[in-house]
Structure 1
Amino acid sequence: MENNLHLKNYTEILIDEAIEKLWSEMEDICKCQRCYYDTKAIALNHLPSKYTVTTKGEVYTKINNFRNQIQVDVMKEVMKAIMTVSEHCSHNPEEAVKY
């Protein structure tokens, strides 16, 4: 069996990129690791998974082909998730990390 194969959910990669982009444009939200994972989990639960098996170098080539099909939905769901997490933060306000 090939040892350089990877199982990857492309939706997860797109969500990571969307969170990074939207967070860079927003100032009044917590950007701690807990809020990041809460945002990511909410968005992942509202979008279809797109798993594929690739060799290590294929991941970013394939994601570029997939990106245009789902990017609008990903951005919409990530924005909704950011707002949900911001309104219902899982930690005390004193623990918020804004940068």
Structure 2
Amino acid sequence: MYVVKNLMEEVVQKYYEKIIDELDVCKCEKCKADVMALALNRLPPRYCVTEEGKMYVKLKELEIQFEIDIIAALAAAAYIVKNNMRHEERDCKNEM
């Protein structure tokens, strides 16, 4: 059985974890999901079914522009979430 997977989700998650402290945004699961969803909507999907497709995405990750695009999308998404939080600050256990 073949599984279609958007590898961009894994890549965005990886970069989110790397730069979360620099994003100056709430770290709760709700805000994290909002930031990641907004960032993914700004980035092109990288769907694959095969190992060759997965390797293509891994190679693409080595390109500087690819990294810049992901960080820019995460920063823009974090700005939006920070200024439009969908929960009360007191409800957030992992505040900034």
Q: TM-score, normalised by structure 1?
A: 0.77
Q: Identity of counterpart residues, as a percentage?
A: 26
Gaps of 5+ in 2: none
Q: Is 1:67 matched up with 2:64?
A: no
User: Which contiguous aligned blocks of 4+ residues in structure 1 show a shift greater than 6 angstroms?
Assistant: none
- What is the CA-CA distance between 1:6 and the residue it aligns to? 2.5
Where in structure 1 are there 5+ consecutive unaligned residues?
A: none
Q: 2:3 aligns with which of 2, 6, 9?
A: 6
Give the TM-score taking structure 2 as reference length: 0.80
Question: What are the residue-to-residue correspondences of 1:1-99 with 2, within 5 Å?
Answer: 3=1, 5-23=2-20, 25-26=21-22, 28-54=24-50, 59=54, 61-69=55-63, 70-96=66-92, 97-98=94-95
Query: Which structure is higher in strand share?
Result: 1
The CA distance in 1 between the partners of 2:12 and 2:95, in whole Å, is 20
